[in-house]
Amino acid sequence: MARPKKSLNIGVYNALLRLADNLRKYANYLDEQLAATETSQARKVPRTDVDEWQVYQAMNITPTKRAKYQSLHQALQNADSYEAIFINDFAPADRRRRFEYMTGLVFPIKCIRYSYTALHNHLHFVWKLEVADNESVRQQKNDQTKDKLKSQFPVYHSRAMKRDFLSCFGKVTGVKSAFLRKAYRRLTGDSAAARNLSEKEVDSRIQEVLDHEDPDILWDLRVNNTGRPEDYPLFLQKCQDYIKGR
């Protein structure tokens, strides 16, 4: 059997040396990264929940601001003193516009804004204050309102996430909000009831579409107008003929 050439042995030997050297360097790199990670973790302070309070004085509001915050102001004025209003429900779903909305808040009556932040969870509330209360009584009632809210934070967080989901995916996909609501409920197990009778009716029909797994189902919307005279009998008859011919 022929012996390997000396030059080949030297080539293999040098390749093994380079491999060993690279493995050593990589091992040193891993040791350095591990040490850096351990140092970084040791320095980290566990994140705690953050509470923020801000008192708003009653002020005259410009017509532009009044129109922008009309629904929020109306809800606040209709509520009892120290009854929390969830600002997230009134703020725009778009993040940039929501930031502008939150930073520009103004109110026609004296009130306090309470914000709770934990990780990516930002919940904002406002309630009006009783002018006759002194500072001590006011602080006590503010704390009582906050304590009531704490047990409901998961519910409010779910509402905020659902709103963001509907807004974000609605813009990107163009899917109707009724289907997105159903998708959100199936993905998250959300069991929140419909906000009104109309939404409940739509959700019920969407459920039928999904149960039949048929996206081409056509619904006769005249069922919603029971008792009312038909305005377009010829048009409706043509629609009926078309449906029967499918």
Q: Look at 145 and 164; give whichever has higher pLDDT.
A: 145
Question: So what's the pLDDT on residue 136?
Answer: 93
Return mean pLDDT, the chain. Answer: 75
Q: Which residues pair with 124 in a beta bridge?
A: 115
Give the mean pLDDT of 182-194.
56
Which helix (H) or strand (E) is 16 found in, with range?
A: helix 6-43
Contact call for residues 184 and 166 (beta carbons, < 8 A): yes
Report d(CA 204, CA 182) in Å as an integer. 10
Whether residue 205 is predicted with pLDDT greater than 50 in this model: the reply is: yes
Closest CA to 163 of 84, 89, 227: 89
Q: Look at 139 and 245; give whichever has higher pLDDT.
A: 139
Domain residue spans in the chain? 50-152, 159-219
Give the mean pLDDT of 32-38.
70
Contact call for residues 87 and 126 (beta carbons, < 8 A): yes
For residue 230, which amino acid is it? E
Q: Look at 12 and 150; give whichever has higher pLDDT.
A: 150
pLDDT digits (tens, 9 = 90+) for 40-82: 555 554 445 678 999 999 988 999 999 999 999 999 999 999 9
Contact call for residues 93 and 167 (beta carbons, < 8 A): yes
- pLDDT grade, residue 234 (50/70/90)? confident
Question: So what's the pLDDT on residue 145?
Answer: 95
Question: So what's the pLDDT on residue 158?
Answer: 77
Q: How many residues appear in the chain? A: 246
Question: So what's the pLDDT on residue 138?
Answer: 94
- Residue for token pair 């005279």: 229
Q: Look at 95 and 138; give whichever has higher pLDDT.
A: 138
Provide CB contacts within 8 A for 93, sequence distance 6+: 163, 164, 166, 167, 168
- pLDDT grade, residue 222 (50/70/90)? low
DSSP 48: -
Share of the chain above pLDDT 90, in %: 29
Region class of 149: left (phi > 0), else alpha (psi between -120 and 50), else beta: alpha
